[in-house]
Chains A and B, each alone.
Chain A
Amino acid sequence: MKPIVAGVGMTKVGEQWSKSLKDLALEASLEAIDSSNLIPEVVVFSNMMSGRLQAQDHLGTLLVDELGLRGLPAVRVEAACASGGAAFHVAYNMIKSGLYNIALVVGAEKMSDTSTEQTTTALMTAEDREYTGFYGASFVSLNALAHRLYMERFNVSEEEMASLAVLSHENGINNPFAMYRKKISIKEVLESPYVADPIHLLEAAPTSDGAAAVILASEEVVKSKSYAVSVEASTMATDTIRYYEREDLLTFESAKKAFANAISASKIEKTQIDIIELHDAFTIVGYLTLESTNIVERGKAAKLIANNKFSLSDKPSVNTMGGLKSRGHPIGATGLFQIAEIYLQLTNNAGKNQVDNAKVGVAFNVGGVGTTTSVSVLKRR
């Protein structure tokens, strides 16, 4: 029994001054519901920071009523930047268990309601407040520790480190939902100011507002082949929340475990993968994900991308719709944007960025510094 992706919905990502968190979630949800032609039986809401940024929790219930579905069971799932993948994992298991037949998973984050400092502070709640946040580390700076160590250990240049950001922007140009639809050059990345050395502003995914939604359904209710995408696996794994406690600072154990489990559950060979959506909140997260999962050799990810590997014409292609860097990173929505983007590719709806004959797509949604990883494997039926 494989859960089926029966429909998706996305809002434009960016600074959406006139739309509230609820408006965004509603917009993506209604679109997903309409495109699926199904009425959900349960709602799973992914969001990380609404309690701090909007002083609003109880999001599942808030949304259900607005959707005109008063009375439905609804929960909110939070796993920092991996909230979207975690919510998808929860909904996947709801369908897989047979208890529900149709689930709406919606992720939304509204980050423009607060000042940069408030948002920076809220993002740090992904880390251990007492023994990481206390010390004044910003979330970017923790990733910068890995970034610097990676450059040092594998002799990787600044230019090579910037390459994933350039690749994502290259692909984001043709994504109508993306926040920044423009090309950037290595030179522009390296000339942009440091946010936390050695990470430049243009190596960090922008904070943004946005929502994405997915309808998951059981094979029971979607017999028709027009529902073309199945979920072959949805896995999650975690690591110690304190980055400094890792045995190896350059291995994402959570990605390694979640991917290994996804491969064995889906019975899909690595060579079959056509599309990989990497969580490029920072370029280093993308590289360490590719390397920890053995998709590429240790120390090679940045160098390979700098040499044009993983482009749209390559197999696999990476971040085909712009990744977090170009599309934007509305935290709780990101994991569901990744699913929705793979869905577009597998249903031949990716427009100018359509990857030829795309059959299998894998999304890595990462929370913390490789602390929580969810892996979703989608396949054209």
Chain B
Amino acid sequence: MSESVPRYWRENKVRERLIGSKCENCGKITFPPRKVCPYCKSKKLTEVELPKEGKLLSYSIVRKPPAEFEKYAPYAIGIIALENGVNIISQLTDVDLKDIKIGMALEGIVRKYREEGEEGLIHYGIKFRPKLK
């Protein structure tokens, strides 16, 4: 199921830079950005760029992928606790599937998620890999 072009474009900045929102009232940060704070209902939220380093909370290996991900299977997805305490979901890359461990230090870089065939748009977003240094 391909995204439409405008639909991909609307989100690309948020996905590639990890833009979340911070509540000016209670200080909680959420990803992706919201219009209403889920914690205190405040509507005063500002955009913030999230850190791209964190630790792996849990992971799974996708062996039966959704359409357009067949080329990359098997691959790992995980929940990452970013340094500022915000959790996000992402694919893991540049790692042997058998070396993945809960708690491992990860860093986010931009990678390809899928292609709309040979002629269509290429979709990018942040993926996480073992911290290099």
Contact = CB atoms under 8 A, between A and B. Distances in A.
A touches B (Cβ under 8 A): yes
Interface of A: 52, 116-118, 120-121, 124, 130-138, 140-142, 144-149, 152, 193-199, 240, 242-245, 249
A128 B100 CA distance: 25
A77 to B, nearest CB: 23
A136 B91 contact: yes
B66 A120 contact: yes
B48 to A, nearest CB: 16
A134 B114 CA distance: 9
Contacts of A130: 11, 32
Nearest to A145: B58
B52 interface: no
- The number of chain B residues touching the other chain, given as a range, is 35 or more
Contacts of A152: 58, 102
B89 A197 contact: no
A117 B89 contact: no
Contacts of A137: 60, 62, 77, 89
Contact of B66 (A133, A146, A197, A244): A133
26 contacts: A120-B64, A120-B65, A120-B67, A133-B66, A134-B113, A135-B77, A135-B91, A136-B75, A136-B77, A137-B60, A137-B62, A137-B89, A138-B65, A138-B66, A140-B60, A141-B77, A145-B77, A149-B57, A195-B63, A196-B60, A196-B61, A198-B60, A242-B89, A244-B87, A245-B31, A249-B58
Contacts of B114: 136
Given A117-B67, A193-B63, A149 B58 contact: yes
Interface of B: 1, 3, 11, 15, 30-32, 38, 57-67, 69-70, 72, 75, 77-79, 87-91, 102, 113-114, 123, 125
Contacts of B70: 117
Contacts of A244: 79, 87-89
Question: Per DSSP, are chain A's interface residues mostly helix, strand or loop, or mixed?
Answer: helix
A135 B89 CA distance: 8
Nearest to B61: A197
Given A124-B66, A244-B79, A135 B113 contact: yes
A134 B70 CA distance: 14
B32 A138 contact: no
Contacts of B3: 134
A117 B65 contact: yes
Which 4 A-B pairs give the minimum distances between C-beta atoms?
A: A144-B60, A141-B60, A197-B61, A121-B66
B3 to A, nearest CB: 8
Given A130-B32, A137-B62, A141-B77, 8 more contacts: A120-B65, A134-B3, A136-B66, A140-B64, A141-B60, A145-B79, A148-B60, A197-B61
Contacts of A138: 62, 64-66
Contact of A148 (B31, B32, B38, B102): B102
